[in-house]
Amino acid sequence: MTKAARLTPEDPLQGAAMAGRWTFGYDMPDELGGGFVCGELPLRSDGILLRRYGGSTYRTGQFTWNFQPWEQVTWWTGETNPQQAIAILKCRGYDLCEPDPIPIDESTYGPVPGEPNAGKHL
């Protein structure tokens, strides 16, 4: 495994290609406050894993997505292989799905017509 690079003050989506991207759900341990969180995890080719919390709401036949800003996952080992990254994330308790069809550089997207369905689990 490689050591993860540090984010620069610029846009965290810039500077490296995307190696993988997933939607996640995570059941927070009680010692971290408990509860369930969801969002997105893109893996950059330089070993940086980013995270943003948020997700979709469904109302009257339409979805709208809202997300917080991107942040670097500080515990990440620097792994750059997407399949290995999936294995690490699953071992840490993340439930992963294919990403939602929203632009990675948008924090709000929609409304988009559609019906609820389960994402493809990985």
pLDDT at 115 over 80: yes
For residues 47 and 12, which has the higher predicted lDDT (pLDDT)?
47
Q: How much of the chain is in helix, strand and coil states, percent to nearest 5? A: 10, 40, 50
Q: What does the domain layout of the chain look like in residue ranges?
A: 18-113
For the stretch 44-87, pLDDT in tens is 999 999 999 999 999 999 999 999 999 999 999 999 999 999 99
Tell me, what DSSP letter sits at residue 31? G
Q: Give the position of tokens 């990254």.
A: 85
pLDDT band (50, 70, 90) for residue 107: very high
For residues 53 and 16, which has the higher predicted lDDT (pLDDT)?
53
Entry pTM: 0.84
Distance CA 112, CA 48 (A): 30
Residue 5 confidence (pLDDT): 44
Residue 120 confidence (pLDDT): 87
pLDDT band (50, 70, 90) for residue 41: very high
